[in-house]
Amino acid sequence: MNYDKSNKNLLNLAFNLSLITIIYNLVEGGVSTFYGSEDETLALFGFGIDSFVEVISGLGIAHMVWRMKRSPVERRDKFERTALIITGSAFYLLVLGLVIGAALNIYSGAKPHTTKVGIIIAIISITTMYFLYKAKIKVGKKLNSAPIISDAHCTKTCFYLSFILLGSALIYEIFKVPYVDALGSLGIAWYAFREGREAFEKARTNAMSCSDDCC
């Protein structure tokens, strides 16, 4: 079975969207971890690490769409399963690090110098992830492609995650509420745990369906 020209154009768009997601997460991860470390805000630092982990997942998605451009795909190959296992493991390690970091920050009374950068990054991320989600879900529905729709739902999870960063950063910057940065990092840890669990479940099932989402 071969795709017609219209579907091939949609698959090219899906592939480009996956590349945009990878590049964006690399930039976002670099900026977030740098300023998270400089400003001593655990929530922003954890958000950045989450972005780097999403890059690994994104590589698996890009590889999958590349295969779909050649012929319809019903099952994950070895590369995609390996990417999912690495992604799940990295998310679980992130959860462990964030929980320990939040506990230490609360115990020591550590506070960020500022969360202004976190506010800016969160707003940019919300805008970008909303655009990517709408574009991916539109392409996925037109192709009736469960894998692309699943990827869109994972992007929507990143959209929600950005709101956690924005909320904790705004509350601290405006009201200087103690420990709110640590609580924000725990919120990110919860989403990271869910994403890690989803990654391992996908790696185990191998087959792809519309129920494969991250939200």
Three-state DSSP class for 213? Answer: coil
CB 144 within 8 A of CB 202: no
For tokens 């969207």, the residue is: 17
Taken in order of first residue, the domains within the chain and their CATH numbers are 5-205 (1.20.1510)
Task: For residue range 126-135, list pLDDT tens digits in order.
Answer: 999 999 999 9
Which tokens belong to 112? 């960020």
Confidence bin at 2 (pLDDT 50/70/90): low
CA dist., res. 215 & res. 116, Å (int)? 28
Q: Mean pLDDT over all residues of the chain?
A: 92
DSSP conformation class of 215: -
**Is it the case that residue 49 has pLDDT exceeding 90?**
yes
